[in-house]
Structure 1
Amino acid sequence: MNDYFQIEKTYSDKAMTVFKRLGIFLCLLVSSIACYAQGSMALVVKDPVDIVKSMKLEYKKPSGFEELRSSECFKLYPKLERIITCAYGLLRSTDQQFIVVTTLYRPLTKDDSVFISRISPNRITSLNWMHEANIKSNIEESLGKDSAQYWRNYVKYYPSNKVRNTFNADSAITYSVNLDLRNYYQSKYKYLDVLCVAKKRRGVMYFFYLYTDEGKKHYSDYRASFEGAFRYLD
């Protein structure tokens, strides 16, 4: 078992293998359920074993990347803090020009829906819709309230065949977030793109791509190497 997590629970061999592979990438958010009305949405993740079991994910380390065993809550970068919150595992390209921050959100339950309806009765219409509320919030953070109203104009949807072949998911949505000088991560990662991958009743994966001017020149190569590292099992 990866020393990064000390878990004594047992379950099927297949799930245990998946958990080992995912170990350092699980984002254990210590926050209550919040919705778009409160800013960028954050969902409770109780236990790494639980999230792996509920999402049924597999992970394969992408070529050309190294795994960073460090946490980052972006306290020095207000916009990144609001959008990404905290990360407990990152992937960085070996040339250090491209970073992937991964956050995983368990499937919502009926109990979650009751709580959500109490704090935002007019905004959340479906448990499978909440990731769209988060995307809308990010577009507002990036481009302002007027743009958030028409957020679909600022995102791109992956073709259904690519979504299935790459992630075994239902949808994949990508978009860019504008960063100003204050939010350049480590003063050199000037760009932020987001990929949201969702599968009905299986949860949502967010991949935050931070990259430098040099990384921008080879952007498509980094993404091609990374995408498919995380995949929903059948």
Structure 2
Amino acid sequence: MGRLYVVATPIGNLKDITLRAIDTLNEVDFIICEDTRKSKILLDTYQIRKEMISYNAHSETKKIPFIIEQLLQGKSIALISDAGTPCISDPGIRLVNEAIKRNIEIIGIPGANAATLALSISGIPTDSYVFEGFLPQKKGRQTKLKELSKEERTIVLYESVYRIEKLLKELSVYMPNRYIVVWRELTKMFEESWRGYPFEILNQFSLKTIKGEFVIIIAPKKWKENFR
């Protein structure tokens, strides 16, 4: 029986890949990835020549039976995402669960993750936190924000360029007195961060064109900036 490797890849800077990840990607029979065009950039950088199979939220139901069959036949397969650690706010959980049901060995190859990186350099308490990833885009979004406004621990969110200003406006309403740190394009050339209260950062955003992917760290309810 084959093995399924869940391999973390860089979140921006292509140098942020482990030696073990490179070895694994070179050794497997083929690689499952979200977008073959994006993954090809990484694989070409490290001269990894392997067949790639696209696998995303829209195709996973159709692709899982084929992948499982390959594993049962003894093939070794690596699962990667476009950036970071697979299955963390990314497709892959269904495949991993199906592999578990079939007693297929699953091996994790750790590496970059935007949430843990942002937490480590935020200056906000990290002894206890809740990771929410992307909030619902429409249905249930306000309900989730109301729930999180009562959360005592540090909160970690992901957001896209299309909704970051909307999120800051919502945080200004639901959590106006909670200190936050917003990171844009972590590890990339134009990495940038903002610190303050939601309305303060929103005002800064209105003065410039903002692009990229975002990680938002929301301080614990009872924590204040001057506690540092």
Give the alignment's TM-score, normalised by structure 1. 0.28
Q: Looking at CA atoms only, which structure, 1 or 2, has the larger radius of gyration?
A: 2
Structure in which a larger fraction of residues adopt helix? 1
Q: What TM-score does the superposition give when structure 2 sets the normalisation length?
A: 0.29
